[in-house]
Every structure is written in structure tokens, then in C-alpha cells.
């Protein structure tokens, strides 16, 4: 019985020592990928190439801003080409003149609007157009 316990103790110690030897103190395992890295890896190859000079978190922020820009322009479900064009515009940035908030001539972003037919209005500062109501006829005395 003592021999069996000794053999089991040696076998357990040997397997535990083998696991410790696999994890050398100088070699730690790389951390698991972050959520941004996983999301970046799922992007199409050409979009990843456009964002390759940025960190994954910055790249995913640019993708989020592109989606917000497309929604603001009235395109909630863009085609891949519309997404890539808008992403290109977001990445290159638009420069606004400080005095008039108009696009500068060297800007690569054109003016875009969802138009006056969107509902609800895109800005709370602009009231919606008044409905056309029939005007009462002037009464004669």
C-alpha cells in the first residue's frame, strides 16, 4: 500500500512539474485579443487595409463614426461602396473654416444633406415645415 501511494505521489508530482516547465518564467502567454481586435479582424480585407495605420480601437471608432455619419445622411443601410466612400471621407477628415463653418476648397468631403423630406427633422433647431391648411374666406359685412 505504501509503495502504491509513493508511486502515485511521484506520478502526480512529475505531471505537475511538467506543466510548470512548459510555462517558462521568461515566456508568458500573450494576452487574449481585445473586443476591438476581434471586431477589426472581422472587417472586410479592403476596409482593414484602409485602417491599417491605426490601432484597433481607433479603427473601430472610425467605423462607428462612419456608421453614424451614414445614418445622419439618411442612409441607415448603406451599400458596401457607400460605406467605403464615407469611411474614406471620415478618415481623411473634413476641414471647416472657423468663420463660416463652410467646407474649405481643399476638403475632400462634399456637402451632403438628408433633405427636407426626412421625418423627423434632423435638427431640433430647425422647425418642421408647417402643414398647408385651408385659409378661411374673409367674411363680408
Residue-by-residue DSSP string for 73-106: TT-SS--HHHHHHHHHHHHH---B-TTT-PBPTT
The structure's pTM equals: 0.50
3-state secondary structure of 62: helix
Task: Report whether pLDDT(108) > 70.
Answer: no
Task: Report whether pLDDT(97) > 70.
Answer: no
Backbone angles phi, psi at 103, to 5 degrees: -70, 140
| Mean of pLDDT values over 10-33 | 69
Alpha carbon of residue 27 to chain centroid: 34
- 135 versus 116: the higher-pLDDT residue is 135
Amino acid at each position: 500500500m505504501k509503495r502504491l501511494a509513493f508511486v502515485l505521489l511521484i506520478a502526480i508530482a512529475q505531471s505537475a512539474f511538467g506543466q510548470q516547465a512548459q510555462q517558462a518564467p521568461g515566456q508568458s502567454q500573450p494576452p487574449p485579443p481585445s473586443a476591438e481586435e476581434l471586431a477589426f479582424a472581422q472587417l472586410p480585407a479592403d476596409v482593414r487595409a484602409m485602417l491599417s495605420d491605426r490601432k484597433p480601437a481607433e479603427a473601430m471608432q472610425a467605423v462607428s463614426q462612419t456608421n453614424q455619419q451614414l445614418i445622419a445622411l439618411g442612409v441607415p443601410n448603406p451599400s458596401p461602396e457607400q460605406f467605403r466612400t464615407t469611411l474614406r471621407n471620415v478618415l481623411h477628415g473634413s476641414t471647416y473654416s472657423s468663420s463660416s463653418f463652410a467646407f474649405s476648397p481643399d476638403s475632400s468631403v462634399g456637402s451632403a444633406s438628408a433633405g427636407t423630406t426626412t421625418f423627423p427633422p434632423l435638427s431640433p433647431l430647425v422647425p418642421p415645415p408647417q402643414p398647408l391648411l385651408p385659409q378661411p374666406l374673409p367674411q363680408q359685412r
